Structure 1
Amino acid sequence: LEGADLAKINAYKTKFAGADLRRADLHGAKMTLADLTGADLSGADLVGAKLDYAILRNADLTGADLSYADLKCADLTGANLKDAILEGADMNYIIGEYTR
């Protein structure tokens, strides 16, 4: 799925564990409760995505654009957020132990 156009996809509770989503267009995607454990989302466009309650354990979000994304209650344990853009993102109540 590298570079795939998945803009505004409805992926509620979908399993993307270990998926290669590098540079994917996921802006406006509805991914509430999605399992993205270990997924590679580096450079992905997640502007305005709904990732509330999503599982992003050990996900690679290096350089991803999460501007205005809804990350309420998301599990970001061990996730890599280096150079990620988080402007306006809702990160209330996230779980983020060992997040870098």
Structure 2
Amino acid sequence: MLLVLFILLRHVPTIFLFKAFLSAGVKPWQRAVAAALSVAVLGAGMHARAELNKFEADIRGEFGIGSAAQYGSADLRKAVHANENLRRANFTSADMREADFSGSTFNGAYLEKAVAYKAKFRGADLSDTLMDRMVLNEADLRDAILVRAVLTRSDLGGAIIEGADFSDAVIDLPQKQALCKYANGINPVTGMSTRKSLGCGNSRRNAYGSPSAPLLSAPPERLLDKDGFCDKGTGLCEATIQ
């Protein structure tokens, strides 16, 4: 009898069991045992959940892979979050104007549609982040790491990019060409030249700029060679398509 009660308490809400016992004419001593078991089972479950939450809080995120903090649509204007662990955090559509994130780690974070006008990301690790449709006008990206970052349709007009590493980042061709006009410096962590990471002056620069928006960033098809690359100088080519 006690084993049956314990199994039921593990899988059926307690309030329904009490109603069942009352309507079935269960003896008083059986009701007392059921009540004691319910307290023990529910108490253990609550304790386990409390310990799990405490553990996740201590390691800054699930499985120890980051904060996973939620800043979606948050007002972070002029906020200071320098040198913080913000891995896998969500900043979708957040207002980050003039905020300071210098030296922070954003690996795998979501920053799409965020407005980061004049925000400071100096020395920040923004690798593997989703930053599409983001406003980064006059943002400070000096010495930042943006390896494999997705920056399609983002606006980096006037951004300070000295020493930034854009290796394998996805950037629309017009935006990349605008950055190449003044790109300079070497990233102190990766040792990569900013110009090289952007593919500035590369005769084998891909004509399409970004795989996600080929029609917006590609020159007319008749100006591409058979491999889809551009010639040096003009960035276009009139090679015969074979």
How far, CA to CA, are the matches of 1:11 and 1:79 in structure 2? 19
Q: Distance in 1 between matches of 2:129 and 2:81?
A: 17
CA distance in 1, matches of 2:111, 2:140: 16
CA offsets 1:42-91 (integer angstroms, 9 cap, x no match): 00011111000001100010000001000000000010100000011001
Once the two structures are TM-superposed, the CA of residue 24 in structure 1 deviates from its matched residue by 1.2
Query: Following TM superposition, by how much is the alpha carbon of 1:10 offset from its aligned partner in structure 2, in angstroms?
Result: 1.6
Q: 1:39 and 1:24 mapped to 2: Cα distance?
A: 13
- Residue of structure 2 in register with 1:28 after alignment: 88
Structure 1: gaps spanning 5 or more residues = none
- Measured after TM superposition, the shift of residue 16 of structure 1 is 0.7
Match of 1:13 in 2: 73
- Normalising by the residue count of structure 1, what TM-score does the alignment of the two structures yield? 0.92
- Deviation of the 1:96 alpha carbon: 1.3
User: Residue 113 of structure 2 aligns to which amino acid in structure 1?
Assistant: Y
Aligned residue pairs, count: 96
Identity %: 29
The reply on whether 1:50 has 2:110 as its aligned counterpart is yes
Cα-Cα RMSD: 1.1
Distance (whole Å) between structure 2 residues aligned to residue 96 and residue 67 of structure 1: 17
Output the CA distance in 2 between the equivalents of 1:96 and 1:87.
16
* Counterpart mapping for 1:1-100 below 5 A: 7-100=67-160
Distance 1:12 1:58 in 2: 19
Q: Distance in 2 between matches of 1:89 and 1:44?
A: 15
Larger Rg: 2
Poorly superposed stretches of 4+, deviation over 6 Å: none
Structure with higher helix content = 2
Unaligned 5+ runs, structure 2: 1-59, 61-65, 161-242
Q: State TM-score, norm by structure 2.
A: 0.39
